[in-house]
Amino acid sequence: MPDDSANGANHFLKSFSDPDAVARYPEGPKRFVPGFDGLHRMTGVLLAEKAPRIARVLVLGAGGGLELKALADAHPHWRFVGVDPAAEMLRLAERTLGPHMDRVELVEGYIDDAPEGPFDAATCLLTLHFLAPPERERTVRQIHRRLVPGAPFVAAHGSFPQRPAERGLWLDRYAAYAVASGADPEQANAARTAVEASVQMLSPEEDEAVLRKGGFSDAQLFYSAFTWRGWVAHA
């Protein structure tokens, strides 16, 4: 597996900068991520357990605006800062959010470009798997330090067994689920190839270790669906 996270991230960042690919982006997650809409609803429920009624929420990897819209729809008193390195995806987020934009600040960049906070809650959905373990841990640590004590953090991304005998099988299931959900088989297999070649997936146990090293000692698994896992933790 390659150990250069920049190559993996840049492979996908390039597609996220293509206006035609970005226009098709909203179709993708629902086909590749089981329970995608439910993941957003669960995220809102978990954040609301600890976040105040009037909360400031950091959304890292916000491009496209799908989770921002879901959270803004469900929580009309929350305000958001959405951070993403792809300018074209942020333009899509503006269109997706529509009237919610009066409660959203969009920032082009990475975690170091995010405001210092403090934030009452944070999310990072379908994003951390693009980063190699050291940068992943550093990013989690930077999220942690921007949160008020006790604030909730929800992370969900690709995470599945990485033993050689199992990894290929899970990637096959990743593509097969997308096809079963209506994705073009050629597109699904191309996505599988890209993930295998360019993304540094970790096992769920390794991902939980990253969260602990980043400052979140109480991470709880709440979502597990084929090649995807999600955790909630508190600062």
pLDDT tens digit sequence for 52-85: 999 999 999 998 899 999 999 999 999 999 999 9
Mean pLDDT of 17-37: 74
Residue pair 163/62 in contact (Cβ under 8 Å)? The answer is: no
131-153 average pLDDT score: 97
Share the mean pLDDT of the chain: 91
For domain 5-161+201-234, the CATH architecture is: 3-Layer(aba) Sandwich (3.40)
pLDDT band at 121 (very low <50, low <70, confident <90, very high): very high
Residues 104-113: what's their mean pLDDT?
97
> Quick one: pLDDT at residue 16?
59
Start-to-end CA distance of the chain, whole Å, equals: 32
Taking phi first (over 0 means left), then psi (-120 to 50 degrees means alpha), and beta for anything else, what does residue 223 get? beta
**Looking at residue 6, what is its pLDDT?**
45
Average pLDDT of 23-38? 82
pTM of the model: 0.91
The pLDDT assigned to 4 comes to: 40
pLDDT at 8 over 70: no
Which residues are CB-neighbours of 173 under 8 A, at least 6 positions away?
A: 226, 227
Phi and psi at residue 152, to the nearest 5°: -80, 150
Work out the average pLDDT over 144-161.
98
| Predicted pLDDT of residue 1 | 32
Nearest to 131 by CA among 187, 198, 189: 198
pLDDT in tens, 179-219: 999 999 999 999 999 999 888 899 999 999 999 999 999 99
Q: Which pLDDT value is given to residue 197?
A: 87
